[in-house]
């Protein structure tokens, strides 16, 4: 499947799954996951997600909840260069899994 070539709009890293573009903005104190369908914002008010951060053998699971235009969480997160992140997003009876590698 070819990527739409979507650029990050919020300073994060973009990955695609089933024609939806996911942008993960990962900082040490907050996580945000934005969803776009062909450039249009996706309503995430009924969505939920679990984000797993992987650093070698260190694993941290975080529940992301709707926060306006994105799914997010606040707290303390191990966000490093090369951290792998796996988001499992549930919305409208569908489950999508998308993977990221933080720059």
Give the chain's domains with CATH numbers. Answer: 13-101 (2.60.40)
Task: Tell me how many degrees the CA angle 16-17-21 measures, rounded to the nearest 5.
Answer: 40
**Residue 76: predicted pLDDT:** 97
Q: What are the C-alpha distances in Å from 92 to residues 36, 46, 72?
A: 15, 8, 18
Average pLDDT, the chain: 93
Reported as half-sphere exposure (CB side, CA atoms, 13 A), residue 58 has a value of 9
Q: How confident is the model at residue 6 (pLDDT cuts 50, 70, 90)?
A: confident
Q: Tell me the pLDDT tens digit for each residue of 32-79.
A: 999 999 889 999 999 999 999 999 999 999 999 999 999 999 999 999
- Residue 1's pLDDT band (boundaries 50, 70, 90)? very low
pLDDT surpasses 80 at 97: yes
């Amino acid at each position: 499947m070819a990527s739409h070539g979507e650029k990050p709009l919020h300073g994060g890293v973009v990955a695609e799954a089933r024609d939806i573009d996911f942008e993960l903005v990962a900082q040490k104190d907050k996580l945000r996951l934005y969803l776009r369908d062909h450039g249009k914002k996706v309503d995430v008010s009924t969505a939920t997600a679990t984000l797993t951060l992987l650093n070698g053998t260190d694993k941290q699971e975080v529940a992301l909840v709707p926060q306006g235009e994105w799914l997010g969480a606040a707290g303390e997160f191990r966000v490093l260069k090369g951290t792998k992140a796996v988001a499992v997003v549930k919305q409208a009876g569908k489950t999508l899994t998308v993977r990221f590698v933080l720059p």
